[in-house]
């Protein structure tokens, strides 16, 4: 695997593959790769001739008091994992390469409405930072396919909307959440948890599942279910962020007539804000 830090060098490499008629799959990441990321790379390897991953801890998607400076950076280990997974190119630019004129004057890509809900409400500006960097990365790599994880459910929906609205010629493929044996969704932010917090954290998944079971067995008092789930999370050591039962079409609050639902949840365990979700067909 070749690691490249500049846009020009990556473009130069990919041009030859494109001219030879090879398809390109892209896996954008912020590094500190775990088994969930590797499944994205596996999917990319199955889906195209050439696989490009990126590692860029994007400052634009971190809030003022968030973990930008402490976000784990493990480049050498990540390079080894990507090589083993069959990735051909790693694009690992520094901030000046991506934002040469500074963060503040960067042209922004905004997906309205969807970006303001749930995680967007808790993290103002986060999704605009995500869509801006993903759009830039898509323009740099010009992939046929890009692979995203379903753990970041809202992010995936927003990226799909951006691609549709801006007529970006990249097909978005998603990969289901990868979990530890405990049920906890894999995340780089699990690394901030103490041993005790790691034992408590799977409760997020359990409460989502219990709520899903209540819905499939006939309950449709969703506000009350959300309230009960929030209390159950707090009883398991979480601090509340949001727990929402929404319809899949537009992620708006579900009502009793909706058949395609998704439960979206975020909650704080110690220093980590954890997210998880579950789709439900009634
Ligand atoms: O999901 C992530 O790791 C990031 O939000 C992404 C898509 C790499 C953009 O920085």
The 10s digit of each residue's pLDDT in 73-92 is 999 999 999 999 999 999 99
- Which CATH code fits 188-277? 3.30.1300.10
Nearest CA to ligand 1 atom 8: 29
- Nearest Cα to Cα of residue 152 among 182, 185, 181: 185
Ligand 1 centre to CA of 230 (Å) is 27
Distances in Å between the alpha carbon of 194 and those of 49, 69, 185, 197, 269? 41, 20, 16, 5, 10
Ligand 1 centre to CA of 130 (Å) is 6
| Domain assignments of the chain as residue spans, ordered by start | 2-175, 188-277
What was the pLDDT predicted at 56? 98
What was the pLDDT predicted at 274? 98
Residues in contact with 10: Cβ distance below 8 Å, sequence separation at least 6, in sequence order: 4, 52, 89, 91, 140, 141
Contact 122, 243 (CB under 8 A): no
What letter does residue 253 receive in the DSSP assignment? B
- Count of residues in the chain: 282
Q: What is the pLDDT of residues 7-60, one digit of tens each?
A: 999 999 999 999 999 999 999 999 999 999 999 999 999 999 999 999 999 999
What was the pLDDT predicted at 76? 98
**pLDDT above 70 as % of the chain:** 100
What was the pLDDT predicted at 259? 97
What was the pLDDT predicted at 237? 98
The mean pLDDT of 137-154, rounded to a whole number, is: 98
The mean pLDDT of 210-216, rounded to a whole number, is: 98
Mean per-residue pLDDT over the chain, rounded: 98
Angle, helices 203-216 vs 222-235, to 10°: value is: 150
Residues in contact with 257: Cβ distance below 8 Å, sequence separation at least 6, in sequence order: none
Q: Is 88 a catalytic residue?
A: no
Q: Tell me if 178 CB under 6 Å of ligand 1.
A: no
Buried b (16+ CB within 10 A) or exposed e, 159-197: bebbbeeeebebebbbbebbbbeebbbbbbbbebbeeeb
Helix H or strand E segment including 130: helix 126-141
**pLDDT above 90 as % of the chain:** 100
Nearest CA to ligand 1 atom 2: 29
Which pLDDT band, with edges at 50, 70 and 90, does 256 fall under? very high
Contact 263, 206 (CB under 8 A): no
Q: Long-range contacts made by residues 105-111, C-beta under 8 angstroms, separation at least 24?
A: 106/60, 106/132, 107/132, 108/132, 109/134, 109/135, 109/162, 109/166, 111/158, 111/161, 111/162, 111/165
Question: Which fold is adopted by the domain 2-175?
Answer: Rossmann fold (3.40.50)
What was the pLDDT predicted at 269? 98
- Nearest Cα to Cα of residue 98 among 162, 169, 30: 30
What was the pLDDT predicted at 126? 98
Which pLDDT band, with edges at 50, 70 and 90, does 233 fall under? very high
Nearest CA to ligand 1 atom 1: 29
Residue 107 buriedness (CB in 10 A; 0-12 / 13-18 / 19+): exposed
Ligand 1 centre to CA of 127 (Å) is 10
Query: Would the CA dihedral through 249, 251, 254, 260 be positive or negative?
Result: positive
């Amino acid at each position: 695997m070749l690691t490249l830090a500049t846009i020009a060098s990556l473009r130069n490499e990919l041009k030859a593959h494109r001219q030879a008629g090879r398809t390109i799959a892209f896996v954008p990441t912020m590094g500190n790769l775990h088994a969930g990321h590797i499944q994205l790379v596996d999917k990319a390897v199955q889906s195209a001739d050439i696989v490009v991953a990126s590692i860029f801890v994007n400052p634009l998607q971190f809030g003022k008091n968030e973990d930008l400076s402490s976000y784990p950076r493990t480049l050498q280990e990540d390079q080894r994992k990507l090589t083993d997974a069959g990735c051909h190119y790693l694009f690992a630019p520094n901030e000046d390469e991506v934002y040469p004129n500074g963060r503040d004057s960067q042209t922004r890509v905004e997906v309205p409405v969807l970006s303001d809900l749930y995680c967007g409400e808790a993290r103002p500006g986060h999704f605009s930072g995500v869509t801006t960097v993903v759009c830039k990365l898509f323009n740099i790599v010009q992939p046929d396919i890009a692979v995203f994880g379903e753990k970041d459910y809202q992010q995936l929906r927003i990226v799909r909307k951006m691609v549709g609205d801006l007529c970006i010629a990249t097909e978005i493929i998603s990969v289901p959440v990868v979990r530890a044996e405990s049920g906890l969704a894999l995340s780089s932010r699990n690394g901030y948890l103490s041993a005790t917090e790691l034992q408590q954290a799977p409760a997020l998944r359990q409460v989502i599942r219990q709520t899903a079971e209540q819905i499939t067995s006939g309950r449709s008092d969703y506000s009350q279910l959300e309230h009960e789930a929030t209390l159950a999370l707090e009883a398991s050591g979480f601090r509340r962020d949001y727990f929402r039962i929404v319809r899949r079409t537009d992620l708006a609050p579900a009502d009793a007539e909706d058949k395609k639902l998704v439960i979206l949840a975020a909650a704080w365990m110690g220093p980590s804000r954890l997210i998880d979700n579950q789709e439900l067909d009634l």
